[in-house]
Structures are given as C-alpha cells and as structure tokens.
Amino acid sequence: MDVLTTTEMERADRLTIAAGTPGFALMMSAGQAVAEAAMDLVEEGPIVVVAGRGNNGGDGFVAAAELAARGREVSVILLCERDSLQGDAALAAKGWKYPVLPFNPQALGKPALIIDALFGAGLNRPVKGDPLEMIGAINANGTPVLAVDLPSGINGTTGAVMGAAVQAAETVTFFRKKPAHLLLPGRMYCGRVRVADIGIAAQVLDEIKPLTAENLPEAWRWSFPVPRIDGHKYARGHAVVVSGDLASTGAARLAARAALRAGAGLVTLASPRDALAVNAAALTAVMVRAVDNPIQFAELLGDKRLNACVIGPGAGVSARTRDFVHTALSAQRHLVLDADALTSFAGAPDRLFEAIKASDGQQVVLTPHEGEFPRLFSDISNKHPGRSKLERVRAAAERSGAVVLLKGADTVIASPDGRATVAANAPPWLATAGAGDVLSGIIAGFLAQGVAAFEAASIGVWMHGESASEAGPGLIAEDLTEVLPAVFRRLYDEFGIEY
C-alpha cells in the first residue's frame, strides 16, 4: 500500500476537491469514520473530544456530532475561541449544537474514551504551553485514546515527536497511511492504525506518483520468484558467502543456510583453508570451497554460474575484506554487503561508491544497522529531528548507487531511483545475535534467483520479519531459517500459487 507524505496527502485532497468533491464532504466522511471507530472501541460511557483550531479539530467536531446523534454522551474541549475557527472547521463546529468546554486539562474528567483531534497534518512547530499541558494530561488520564489522523504532537512525514505526543490506543487515518504511522517513534504512539476511505479516488495516485510504500507482499507480488516446472537448480542461481576466519565462521554459515532456504539453487561458502574443517563439519547442503585471498576468490568467481555474493558477516574489518568486496564488484556479481564489509570502508567509502556506480546491471544491497550507517554516511545525519529515516536512507541510496537497507523495527529500504519501502512487521524479539546475518543470506538467495536489488531486499525483510513472528518469542537466529518454509507456504496461499 502506498504511503503519502503530508504534502502528498494535501495534493490528494486538492485533486479530489478540484474534481468536484467539496472539502467539507471529505471532512464529514473523515469525522464519521472516527465516530465509527469510537463506537467500536467503547460501547458505552462518555466520550471527550479534544479539538484544535484546524481541520483536525474539524474532524473532531463532525465525530462529536455523529456520536451525539447516535445517543452517546459527548463533550468537546476546544483549544481556541469557537468564533475564531475558519473554513471547513468553522462549518464543522456549526454542526455541533452544544457548548464547548474551555481548554483546561481538568475538563477531561474520567471518560470512557478521549478523541484526540488537536493536531494532525498541520502540526508545524514544537508543542508548547497549553497544548503541551493538555497532551500531558491526556496521557496521564489513563483513558484509551483514539487519535484523528495522527497522534497530536507526531510529525506526519517524519514520525518525530515534536515536543510531546499523545499516546493513542488507535489511530484513524484517511485514504493512505503517512510515514509516521510506520516510522519510529511515531508508530509507537499510534496504537492500531485504521485507514478509512473518505471518498478520495485511488486514481489521484496516478498523478501524485508516490515513491514510498509499506513493505507488504502487494509491493513486490510481481517480482516474487516461483520455481518453474521445467527449472533446475542452476536456474535458481548460485550464491556465495564469504566466511570469516577460524574464530568467526558462524555468521557466514547462518547467511549461507538462509540463502539456500530463500531459494538459491546452490550455495557455496568461500572459507579460509584453516577454517575449512570447522565449516565443512557444520554444513551439509551448503558446499564449502577453500578461498584464502582475493585472487582465489576471483578464480572461484570465474565460474559465471556463481551469480550472487554475501560479504560481511564475520568477515573481519580489514583491507582483505575491502579487497574481497572490490573483487566481487569487478566480477559484476550481485552483492549483499553487510556488517564488517561496511565497517571496512568506514570514513572512506568513496571508492566503494565509485565501484558500485561503475558497474552496470549489477544488483548491490548495503544492509547497515544504525551503528554502521554513519560509518559510511557520516554527513547524512542520524540526529537531525527534521530528517526522517526515509530521507536519510534515500539520500544514502542516491549517494552510494546501491539499494540501502537501514535495519531496525522500522526497516527502510531505498533505491537510488527514489523508491522506498518501510517495514512494520518485525516483532521486537527479532533483535537477536545473528538475525542480521540471516537477513543478508535471505536477500542473496533472492538476488541469486534473479530478483532486482530493491525487490530482493524488500522481499527479504518482509520474510525475515514474518519468520520471527512465526517462530515467536524465544527466537534465536538459527530458528529463522527453519520457519521460512511456513512463511513461503502462507505467501503462496496469499498469491494463489499452487504447490
């Protein structure tokens, strides 16, 4: 499902209004969707609407009137003077036939539900003064909160908290999700997210051409590889994982097994000779080859069937690792660079980016976590609150010429062409040692099958997150690969692929 920035959403509103639907009709639908959600959340008891001065407050007035019409006990607390409301919000307030309460935290009382209609997409500065105090009081009240469009205080486009934010149990947003419903910290304030249809036609997206999507199967359905009846293992690609030295071979084995499970027809572990015995003893379907240096690695890659590589897990931070990376890039192999392969270029990544950009048709994915990201992209600041994770990853993809995947609970994947996905399906117990190694292997498994980098990374991240949910709490990295077949089966069912 496409995700719209607040600017793109404004455009969707404007295009719809220009096509003949009055803005107030959109507000009526929005308010009614909020009322519907409120009825579902609490079957009885009083409801308090906290309304701001903009259209978010307008939605709140419509919801209040609708709930009152359905016999619910409702009160409205308004941030400003009622006569100072303008436009559609003023119109919506006219539909509320009762008094409004002054903007005083005491007025909240102890209702069954609070509807937060203070700020939505129009929040444009940090929250201070009375609204700040009210947000604190809403959060301290202990009553479930239904947020209109966004929890007040959350920046819709970046997901940042602007001073303070309402903690909602549920958020009703309109037409499409906004980045803040997926990116942290915003997502944590939203609770469950409901997307309501308010009469905006999907065709407006043809004009807006959004570049961001939630990382869901529909985003890559048509890139998902399915083994062919007349296929054979070489038709499914051959992935190579570079192993670390004797003391750190486990990470590469995790990646290798994951690549095989993800569907690569064959997987070879390129192992230092002195670690051969340990690797061979721990592997069965994955093959092992002795590779001590970049020259031997280049010889191995002389076999063109070996079409995708993983370098980084357990590889060691060194010039040797850099040389392996350059060897794979010169050999034009699809490539996942993770962990030590990224850190080996810390502070001086330009040669790496040049080599990536010089290659043609080669699919390269960089998979940093938040610690590794600044080592390659120090000036694409981690800290600026105005710069979202989406923007940072997009800038990194453009800079490097590779698909960049920045890990976390809200993993963002961006392509140099501007497309991006945000994942929200990974459970917190996925944060466990070795999980990242498995992810790099899964992605390489899809690259080996001929999937392009952006889609391979998106498929990999989604399946990785689903595998963690499938395995459940108590997960260790080894489990992820073992539950992948169950995730494949669900996906085959969803896509209607016979097996």
Ligand X SMILES: NC(=O)C1=CN([C@@H]2O[C@H](COP(=O)(O)OP(=O)(O)OC[C@H]3O[C@@H](n4cnc5c(N)ncnc54)[C@H](O)[C@@H]3O)[C@@H](O)[C@H]2O)[C@@H](O)CC1
State how far the Cα of 144 lies from the Cα of 167, in Å rounded to an integer.
9
How many CA atoms does the CB half-sphere of 480 hold within 13 Å? 34
Instruction: Report 100-129 residues binding ligand X (CB under 6 A).
Output: 119-127
Q: Which residue has the tokens 């980045």?
A: 179
Residue 59 as a binder of K ion (CB under 5 A): the answer is no
Number of residues that bind K ion (CB under 5 A): 5
CA 13 to chain centroid, in Å, comes to 25
**Region from 227-235, 323-331, 341-349, 408-416 binding ligand ADP, contact rule CB under 6 A:** 408-416
Q: How far is the CB of 428 from ligand ADP (least distance, A)?
A: 4
Q: By CB under 6 A, is residue 78 in contact with ligand X?
A: no
Contact between 144 and 121 under an 8 Å Cβ cutoff? The reply is no
186 is in an annotated binding site: no
User: What's the min distance (Å) between Cβ of 25 and ligand X?
Assistant: 9
Footprint (CB under 6 A) of ligand ADP, residues 447-486: 464
Q: Residue from 13, 116, 170, 437 that binds K ion (CB under 5 A)? A: 116
Amino acid at 158: T
* Residue at shortest CB range from ligand ADP: 436
Total residues interacting with ligand X, rule: CB under 6 A: 27
| Residues facing residue 266 across a β-bridge | 238
Task: Find the binder of ligand X among 61, 96, 103, 174 (CB under 6 A).
Answer: 174
Residue number, 148 or 339, with CB nearest to K ion: 148
Q: Is the peptide bond before 179 cis (omega within 30 degrees of 0)?
A: no
By CB under 6 A, name the one of 65, 435, 447, 453 that touches ligand ADP: 435
- The token duo for 340 is 């030590």
Query: What are the tokens at 160?
Result: 């940042």
Q: In angstroms, give the least distance from the CB of 86 to ligand X.
A: 9
* C-beta of residue 211 within 8 angstroms of C-beta of residue 398: no
Asked if 48 is part of the footprint of ligand ADP (rule: CB under 6 A), the reply reads no
Cβ-proximal residues to 177 (8 Å cutoff; 6+ apart), any chain? 1, 3, 4, 193, 195, 214
List, in sequence order, every beta strand (DSSP E) within 300-427: 306-311, 334-338, 364-367, 403-406, 412-414, 420-422
Ranges assigned E (strand) in 15-143: 47-51, 74-78, 113-117
Q: Does 95 carry a binding-site annotation? A: no
**Can you give the binding site for K ion, defined by CB under 5 A?**
116, 120, 147-148, 152
What are the binding residues for AMP?
407-411, 436
**Can you give the binding site for ligand ADP, defined by CB under 6 A?**
339, 369, 407-409, 411, 426, 428, 430-431, 433-437, 439, 464
**Can you give the binding site for ligand X, defined by CB under 6 A?**
13, 23, 26-27, 30, 52-59, 119-127, 131, 148-149, 174, 198
